[in-house]
Homo-oligomer: A and B are copies of this chain.
């Protein structure tokens, strides 16, 4: 599926990288950003509203701006397919439905990023070859899966918003909570010896902490329903370690139960795209030279 003219709303790291990829491929692309004056646009076409011939709108704005922007998109682009690239899917789907986009909205989430943010750090390759989540719903899911897979040479995990949000609560949002909690406790202690003895475990464990508080807040707050129970489990786990500090045998048994958790190679098989999208469970999809393949996620 190729859309002829894509409008990317929001000129940050992700929106910029979507736009630069499309520009490199020679596709029709316009970045829509109200504040067009203050930026270094290079050769990326840009405008302050959505062009009337846009047939796909990619909304790449902060999560807390989604409801307002989706309402504007619904008005400015009455016929286009609309996707977003936010890191939480249930809350954005609700906002899209509230904006009247139910039959033409599909959620997407590229699993890529850098320490940096902003259009100036965007690149044509940032999202290429990454895994993208695309969420099932009442919009044209297969068209969006095809466009993502072909445009970004992506493996697409097709799933529903609830399963997506539960998964990222575990492997993205909980790690952000833990990293911020750890950095907060250590910084608060402000121990002079600790500054000089900080080990790799501390640097790695706090890498994502203490930065971009608004973006982190948006992720966590918009996914509170899925994240809350995970944080409860983390608290229970820490209470278990706390109790076992006084019992070396129990502590060893607890640590021994923690084993690396890795994914195996998916069982790829030729597949019909529409059937893969219609499956009820998280399903991986990719495009190869011989056609579409799918595999159960696991």
Q: Which A residues from 184 to 243 make CB contacts under 8 A with B?
A: 184-202, 204-211, 213-214, 216-217, 220-221, 224, 227-228, 230-235, 237-239, 241-242
CB pair A157–B210 under 8 Å, yes or no, is no
Task: Give the Cβ gap from A249 to chain B, nearest Cβ, in Å.
Answer: 9
Contact (Cβ within 8 A) B252 A177: no
A159: nearest residue on chain B (CB-CB)?
B193
Nearest-neighbour CB distance to chain B for A217, whole angstroms, equals 4
Report whether B252 and A242 are in contact in the complex, using a CB–CB cutoff of 8 Å: no
What B residues does A177 contact at CB under 8 A?
A: 238, 241
B221, A255: Cβ atoms closer than 8 Å:
no
B234 touches A238 (CB 8 A): yes
**Would A260 and B211 count as touching, CB distance under 8 A?**
yes
Q: Which residues of B contact A54 (CB under 8 A)?
A: none
* Known pairs A201-B176, A234-B181, A237-B181; A251 contacts B170 (CB<8 A): no
A5 at the B interface (CB under 8 A): no
Structural contact, B171 and A202, CB atoms closer than 8 A = yes
Q: Which of B188, B202, B207, B254 contacts A172 (CB 8 A)?
A: B202
**A interface, over-half SS:** helix
Q: How large is the interface on A (under 10, 10 to 19, 20 to 34, 35 or more residues)?
A: 35 or more
Residue of B nearest to A156 (CB): B196
- The 8 Å CB contact of A245, one of B187, B200, B228, B298, is B228
* Given contact pairs A183-B258, A201-B207, A235-B242, a sample of 19 additional A-B residue pairs in the complex whose CB atoms are under 8 Å apart: A111-B197, A111-B199, A131-B197, A133-B193, A170-B191, A170-B202, A178-B178, A178-B238, A180-B241, A183-B260, A184-B258, A187-B258, A192-B297, A195-B298, A209-B258, A217-B252, A224-B245, A228-B242, A235-B235
- B179 pairs with A201, CB closer than 8 A: yes
- Residues of chain B within 8 A (CB-CB) of A213 are 252, 255-256, 258
Of residues 26 to 74 in A, which have CB atoms within 8 Å of B's CB atoms? 64
Out of B204, B230, B251, name the residue touching A217 (CB < 8 Å).
B251
Q: Is A175 an interface residue (CB 8 A)?
A: yes
The verdict on A164 contacting chain B, using a C-beta distance below 8 Å, is: yes
The answer to whether A197 touches B179, judged by C-beta atoms less than 8 angstroms apart, is no
When distances are taken between beta carbons in the complex, the residues of chain B under 8 Å from A183 are: 258, 260-261
Cross-chain contact of A230 among B185, B206, B227 (Cβ < 8 A): B185
Give 3 closest A-B pairs by Cβ, nearest first: A167-B193, A195-B263, A213-B255
Complex contact A171–B184 (CB within 8 A):
no
CB <8 Å contact, A232 and B224: no
Kindly supply a per-residue 1/0 record for chain A positions 243-277, scoring 1 wherever the CB is within 8 Å of any chain B CB and 0 otherwise.
00110100110111111111100000000000000
The answer to whether B210 touches A185, judged by C-beta atoms less than 8 angstroms apart, is no
Q: Does A282 contact B (CB under 8 A)?
A: yes
